[in-house]
Amino acid sequence: MRQAGTNLPKVGQYNRAVVLDHIQFADGISRVEIAERTGLTPQTVSGIVRRLIGEGIVREDGRGTSSGGKPRMRLRVNPGAGRAVGVAFDPAELSCVVVDLLGNPLGRQRRPTPPHGSPDQIASSVAELVDEVLGDAGVRREEVLGLGFVTPGPIDLTQGLLVTPPQLPDWDRVPLQRLVAEATGLPVTLDNDATAAAIGERWAGAGRGVANFAYFFLGTGVGGGLVLGHQVHRGGSMNAAEFGHTTVDPDGPQCYCGNFGCLETLVSPAAMVAEARRRLASGSESSLSARGLKHTAILRAAAAGDELAGGIVDRAAEQVATVVVNVVNIVDVDLVVLGGHGIQYVEDRFRGAVERALQTRPLARRIRTARVELSPLARDAAAIGGAALVLYATYSPRVSELLSL
Amino acid sequence: MRQAGTNLPKVGQYNRAVVLDHIQFADGISRVEIAERTGLTPQTVSGIVRRLIGEGIVREDGRGTSSGGKPRMRLRVNPGAGRAVGVAFDPAELSCVVVDLLGNPLGRQRRPTPPHGSPDQIASSVAELVDEVLGDAGVRREEVLGLGFVTPGPIDLTQGLLVTPPQLPDWDRVPLQRLVAEATGLPVTLDNDATAAAIGERWAGAGRGVANFAYFFLGTGVGGGLVLGHQVHRGGSMNAAEFGHTTVDPDGPQCYCGNFGCLETLVSPAAMVAEARRRLASGSESSLSARGLKHTAILRAAAAGDELAGGIVDRAAEQVATVVVNVVNIVDVDLVVLGGHGIQYVEDRFRGAVERALQTRPLARRIRTARVELSPLARDAAAIGGAALVLYATYSPRVSELLSL
């Protein structure tokens, strides 16, 4: 990454995006308030707002409280001014949403990923799914700004390739960005699912307007996303926020990643099922049975009061909390967001464990206690994140663009 | 932290700082090369360079290789254009350096911190020390841009207070910034010693020109600094990079910070001395003796081939390596710098352990292996960091300034 200067057109784009961000995150805001909060002059703000209104992206919406003189018009984003599609791809399931400019879902659907499908078959299946979702939501293709395609596992962002998708051993450096763009006729943005979900939280979830937050995504694996100084932090090799591969137990088992005692090896669904089987085999009482035991059964049993299942969930939550505290001590975020299907039914146990840890363990807790929130986007977090990728690339103030060559 | 817009004067300042940074980090660079590397137009670069030359900060230095047409003048920073003083304060020792604009030390001295000194006595002692260092180096007070005062422990940066300095139980929210400014007659910048040392590495050490790096400072405690995207990352409460308080052993002893099994509780000098005593008491053979055992004796014995001491050092190095890998997986830095008196005599053992870990454990290692380097600033890292604080605040391109209200 070069250290670049900037110029007037970039500054104009950036300031426009900052103004739009403030309008989006506020529940109605005046031009004067925007000027106060952004440090921009009232003239600059007025000019930007005039253009945003002209383009239909922002609208004036009733009169706000005036401070004496002229009443102030409140500004809001026009949610209908643009649509974006998000598709989350994993080996088991394709899910798709279409959202408006505020990130509200207008339609959504899921279908099983074609087993042993070729990349072309996957792309066709995605195109069918997108057609259905747009049709059901009554959204025309011309209204769609783009499609965000998100997937677990390593991605070559510069070339739009899936490098080695999990559980698809025959796939290697597959140009899925191009294939999906050809099949759907939409411009396609590719990204990691956890990074996208973090962007979704910033756009429409628990991270709205928060300067610094960490997003923990507990799914089949444990992924994450980081927003630092209002910017998505990707890191030098674009692989930041791999919270699942930090060490919780240095003497623990080696992870497929090469590291030892990774969080993911301890709290993944597979690890929790294995732990439950061990406890059942040792004769502990439980409503669960070892045969055909599934992860969701453990989560449901824990929610229903089963002691063995509860113990396993609480242990996993403690291990997540240890990594949360490490992340807070390393990057000093204001907020931690927990999401993903790995915490369904037991969200409050995870939240409680993390909250207790944040109140008692980070070094800076007396200066400011980091908050914890559950993702409001839940099962759709990755797909909504995909759609948010498109909105983020189109509308958000990005320092990387301001300071790009 | 508000999300602010920017304006022309700020952009001008920022671009000037970016140009100066490129001149400082290159070993001679032409205007054309600066334009290529910064994305600024040749006209903008020429204008900025003309002013920097006019102010005496930059000079033209011989002719570079030409690519056909006109020969290119090489630009270099004029090291004599400014001086900065750094003072590192810890309960045992005051150390002071004066550096030129490239961060080269022109003079340095240490003295014991007055025991049980009042804040006023400390400030007087600092003023005497600064006078001596400036006198010995032949630097006039008027040439000094400012004094960076650095200290371990929590600081209230907004008010210039030491909140609760370690081992000074009677001190509470001491306005040392003001006292030192009054005693020395210099403008004073206050900061955490590890953060300052990281800035020193960026200015004049192993981090020169590196976009993303983590600095591990092994001293009485374990501190750290993070540079992300060419910017010092301080975090939401200004307490990022507390690597010493991340958990290595969740079942380990509780640290004074409230967390469990912190790196610092395992590898601090006190912890290593305690571990050596345990091993000696169990009858292990060694050249060390338990009576009056000091940390430096362990490090020296390890360097001399003592097996017991070597085992203790290697164990500490492995624990540091575990945290290094966690930091790389979380923030994805390109470089890790190791410094501080805690690794003296055994620098290569620490470097080796961290290097092996970085080659085999981070998730993104196949995309790009993070490098490890030893701090070239060694014992003076904190004091040079203090001086670099002043240079950084005066000259460096800071996004936080570009986007401030």
Q: In this complex, which of B239, B319, B360 lies closest to A367 when CB atoms are compared?
A: B239
H helices present in A143-289, as ranges = 176-184, 193-204, 263-267, 269-281
Question: Contact, A386 vs A347, CB < 8 A?
Answer: no
8-state DSSP, A361: S
Is residue B269 included in any domain, yes or no?
yes
Rounded to the nearest angstrom, the minimum Cα separation between B40 and chain A is 6
Rounded to the nearest angstrom, the minimum Cα separation between B111 and chain A is 30
Q: Is there a single domain that holds both residue B139 and residue B273?
A: no
- Give the residue-averaged pLDDT of A95-118: 92
What are the backbone dihedrals phi and psi of residue A62, each rounded to the nearest 5 degrees, phi first?
A: 75, 180
- The sign of the dihedral angle between the CA atoms of B296, B298, B302, B304 is positive
Q: Is there a single domain that holds both residue B303 and residue B248?
A: yes
* The domain boundary residue, chosen from B34, B60, B77: B77
**CA B261 to CA A95: how far, in whole Å?**
41
Q: Render pLDDT for A85-95 as a digit per residue (tens, 0 to 9).
A: 999 998 788 99
Instruction: Identify the three-state secondary structure at position B7.
Output: coil
356-385 in chain A: CB under 8 A from chain B:
360-365, 367-368, 370
CA atoms within 13 A of residue B257's CA, in its CB half-sphere: 27
What pLDDT does A120 receive? 92
* The domain boundary residue, chosen from B42, B77, B112: B77
A125, two tokens: 């299946």
Q: In this complex, which of B8, B238, B334 lies closest to A236 when CB atoms are compared?
A: B334
**CA B267 to CA B244: how far, in whole Å?**
9
Q: Render pLDDT for B184-212 as a digit per residue (tens, 0 to 9).
A: 999 999 998 999 999 999 999 999 989 99
Q: Strand pairing partners for A52?
A: none
Q: B3 and A368 in contact by Cβ < 8 A?
A: no
Looking at this protein, which amino acid is placed at residue B99?
Answer: V
**CA A202 to CA A216: how far, in whole Å?**
13
Question: Contact, B383 vs B96, CB < 8 A?
Answer: yes
Judge whether A315 is closer than 8 Å to chain B, CB to CB.
Answer: no
Rounded to the nearest angstrom, the minimum Cα separation between B186 and chain A is 29
| Per-residue pLDDT in tens (0 to 9) along chain B, 405 residues | 668 888 888 888 899 989 998 998 888 999 999 999 999 999 999 999 999 999 999 999 876 555 565 667 899 999 999 999 999 998 788 999 999 999 999 999 999 988 888 889 999 999 999 999 999 999 999 999 999 999 887 777 778 777 766 666 777 788 889 999 999 999 999 998 999 999 999 999 999 989 999 999 998 889 999 999 999 999 998 889 999 999 999 999 999 999 999 999 999 999 999 999 999 999 889 999 999 999 999 999 999 999 999 999 999 999 999 999 999 999 999 999 999 989 999 999 999 999 999 999 998 888 889 999 999 987 888 999 999 999 988 888 888 888 876
Q: A330 and B325 in contact by Cβ < 8 A?
A: no
**Integer Rg of chain A from CA:** 22
What are the backbone dihedrals phi and psi of residue B386, each rounded to the nearest 5 degrees, phi first?
A: -60, -45
Question: Contact, B371 vs B357, CB < 8 A?
Answer: no
**CA A302 to CA A280: how far, in whole Å?**
14
The residue assigned the tokens 């995150």 is A25
Question: Contact, B333 vs B213, CB < 8 A?
Answer: yes
Q: Is there a single domain that holds both residue A88 and residue A68?
A: no
Per CB-CB distance under 8 Å, the chain A contacts of B403 are: 399
What pLDDT does A319 receive? 98
H helices present in B332-395, as ranges = 347-360, 381-395
Report residue A164 CA to chain centroid gap.
21
What pLDDT does A70 receive? 60
Q: Is there a single domain that holds both residue B223 and residue B311?
A: yes
Is residue B204 included in any domain, yes or no?
no
Q: A5 and B44 in contact by Cβ < 8 A?
A: yes
Instruction: Identify the three-state secondary structure at position B9.
Output: helix
Q: B21 and A37 in contact by Cβ < 8 A?
A: no
149-208 in chain B: CB under 8 A from chain A:
154
**CA B386 to CA B402: how far, in whole Å?**
23
Is residue A2 included in any domain, yes or no?
no
Nearest chain A residue to B263 by CA: give it: A326
Question: Contact, B270 vs B284, CB < 8 A?
Answer: no
Is residue B3 included in any domain, yes or no?
no
Number of structural domains (chain A) is 3
- Give the residue-averaged pLDDT of A103-122: 91
Q: B140: exposed, middle or buried (C-beta count within 10 Å: 0-12, 13-18, 19+)?
A: exposed
The pTM of the full predicted model, rounded to 2 decimals, is 0.93
Query: Angle of helix A307-331 relative to helix A269-281, nearest 10 degrees?
Result: 140
Portion of chain A with pLDDT greater than 70, in percent: 96
User: How many C-beta atoms lie closer than 10 Å to residue A404's C-beta?
Assistant: 13
* The domain boundary residue, chosen from B77, B97, B124: B77
Q: Is there a single domain that holds both residue B230 and residue B366?
A: yes
- Cα separations in angstroms, B278 against B43, B296, B308: 68, 17, 11
Judge whether B228 is closer than 8 Å to chain A, CB to CB.
Answer: yes
- Cα separations in angstroms, A179 against A57, A125, A354: 31, 11, 41
Q: Would the pLDDT of A197 be above 70?
A: yes
Looking at this protein, which amino acid is placed at residue A375?
Answer: S
> Closest Cα partner for B340 from B250, B404, B253, B268?
B268
| Region of residue A137 (left: phi > 0; alpha: psi -120 to 50; beta: else) | alpha
Q: Would the pLDDT of A64 be above 60?
A: no
Rounded to the nearest angstrom, the minimum Cα separation between A175 and chain B is 18
What pLDDT does A342 receive? 93
Question: Contact, B261 vs B252, CB < 8 A?
Answer: yes
Judge whether B8 is closer than 8 Å to chain A, CB to CB.
Answer: yes
B14, two tokens: 């920022």
What pLDDT does B404 receive? 76
The residue assigned the tokens 């920017």 is B6
CA torsion A159→A165→A171→A173, rounded to 10°?
Answer: 20
DSSP labels, A209-250? T-SSEEEEEESSSEEEEEEETTEE---TTS----GGGSBS-T
A263, two tokens: 């969080």
Q: Render pLDDT for A251-294 as a digit per residue (tens, 0 to 9).
A: 999 999 999 999 999 999 999 999 999 999 998 899 999 999 99
What was the ipTM of the complex prediction? 0.92
B207 Cβ contact partners less than 8 Å away, ≥ 6 residues apart:
B198, B201, B213, B215, B227, B335, B337
Rounded to the nearest angstrom, the minimum Cα separation between A210 and chain B is 9
What pLDDT does B68 receive? 60
Tell me the residue ranges of DSSP E strands in B29-185. 58-63, 73-77, 83-89, 93-99, 105-112, 144-151, 155-156, 161-162
Q: Is there a single domain that holds both residue A68 and residue A119?
A: no
What pLDDT does A76 receive? 94
Q: A242 and B2 in contact by Cβ < 8 A?
A: no
Higher pLDDT, A156 or B150: B150
What's the pLDDT band for A244 if we cut at 50, 70, 90? very high
Q: Is there a single domain that holds both residue A57 and residue A107?
A: no
Q: Is there a single domain that holds both residue A193 and residue A86?
A: yes
Q: A149 lies in which domain range? A: 82-199+383-402
Is residue A71 included in any domain, yes or no?
yes
Looking at this protein, which amino acid is placed at residue A101?
Answer: L
The residue assigned the tokens 């670099």 is B388
Q: A330 and B327 in contact by Cβ < 8 A?
A: yes
Q: A5 and B21 in contact by Cβ < 8 A?
A: no
Instruction: Identify the three-state secondary structure at position A162.
Output: strand
Instruction: Identify the three-state secondary structure at position B335.
Output: strand
> Closest Cα partner for A338 from A321, A357, A326, A351?
A351
What's the pLDDT band for A142 if we cut at 50, 70, 90? very high
What pLDDT does B66 receive? 55
Q: B112: exposed, middle or buried (C-beta count within 10 Å: 0-12, 13-18, 19+)?
A: exposed
Judge whether B92 is closer than 8 Å to chain A, CB to CB.
Answer: no
Q: Is there a single domain that holds both residue A325 and residue A357?
A: yes
Q: Strand pairing partners for A170?
A: none
- Cα separations in angstroms, B179 against A44, A234, B113, B120, B154: 42, 42, 16, 7, 18
241-280 in chain B: CB under 8 A from chain A:
241-243, 245-250, 257-260
Q: Is there a single domain that holds both residue A25 and residue A152?
A: no
Residue B225, H or E segment: strand B222-228
Is residue A205 included in any domain, yes or no?
no
Is residue A127 included in any domain, yes or no?
yes
What's A25's domain CATH number? 1.10.10.10
> Closest Cα partner for A207 from A355, A398, A373?
A373
A241, two tokens: 């926020």
Q: Is there a single domain that holds both residue B346 and residue B219?
A: yes
Is residue B2 included in any domain, yes or no?
no
- Cα separations in angstroms, B252 against A74, A249, A250, B113, B217: 55, 11, 12, 34, 22
Question: Contact, B230 vs B213, CB < 8 A?
Answer: no
Angle at the Cα of B315 from the Cα atoms of B310 and B319, rounded to 5 degrees: 145
Q: Is there a single domain that holds both residue B222 and residue B262?
A: yes
What's A107's domain CATH number? 3.30.420.40
Q: In residues, how long is chain A?
A: 405
What pLDDT does A32 receive? 94
Average pLDDT, chain A: 91
